[in-house]
Amino acid sequence: MIYCVSEPFVFVRLEKGEPIVATLTDLCAQLGIRSGWVQAIGAVDRIEYGAWDIDARVYHKQVLEETLEISPISGNIMLKEGKPFLHLHATFAGHDFMARAGHLFEARVNPTLEVFIGVLPELLERRMDDATGLYLAWPL
Ligand code: ZN
């Protein structure tokens, strides 16, 4: 990973084999980013994604191991239980050019991913909402 900071933005380039969510979460903790937004394009060779089942209150998950174009990943950064948490959704397509999408749990970069992070001055956090079973966004 390489990155550069030009406040209020951070550019990050992830390299082959790096896990997207774990690497960006660690970088946010390292840089003290507690609220913001994320936009990324590139490609991966493994992705774990899902869709929330409102009635069962679980994510239906799927893992794909194939070359996929990320077009794009988008999401946000908020504190969850005091630590930076990235909520990311991904749209992606393989060699059939058919788009799929979902909540991104993790993906492995191959060969590169180009990420812009916008850092927000206001702090936001996620709090458990019993009505939905989800950690919803709240201003601090
Ligand atoms: Zn989601």
Tens digits of residue pLDDT in 37-78: 999 999 999 999 999 999 999 999 999 999 999 999 999 999
Q: Identify the residue whose tokens are 């927000």.
A: 120
Average pLDDT of the residues of the chain: 97
Q: Which residues pair with 5 in a beta bridge?
A: 10
What is the whole-number distance in angstroms between the Cα of residue 101 and the centre of ligand 1?
Answer: 11
Tell me which amino acid residue 93 is: A
Residue with tokens 């992705």: 47
Q: Quick one: pLDDT at residue 25?
A: 98
CA–centroid distance, 56 to ligand 1, in Å, is: 16
Q: Residue written as tokens 């980013």?
A: 33
Say how many Å lie between the CA of residue 3 and the centre of ligand 1.
25
Residues 6 or more apart whose Cβ sits within 8 Å of residue 40: 20, 70, 72, 73, 74, 113, 114, 115, 116
pTM of the model: 0.95
CA–CA separation, 4 and 87 (whole Å): 22
Question: Which residue's entry shows tokens 């409102």?
Answer: 54
- Going from the Cα of 108 to the center of ligand 1, the distance in angstroms, rounded, reads 18
User: What share of residues in the chain are helix, strand, coil (percent, to 5)?
Assistant: 10, 70, 25
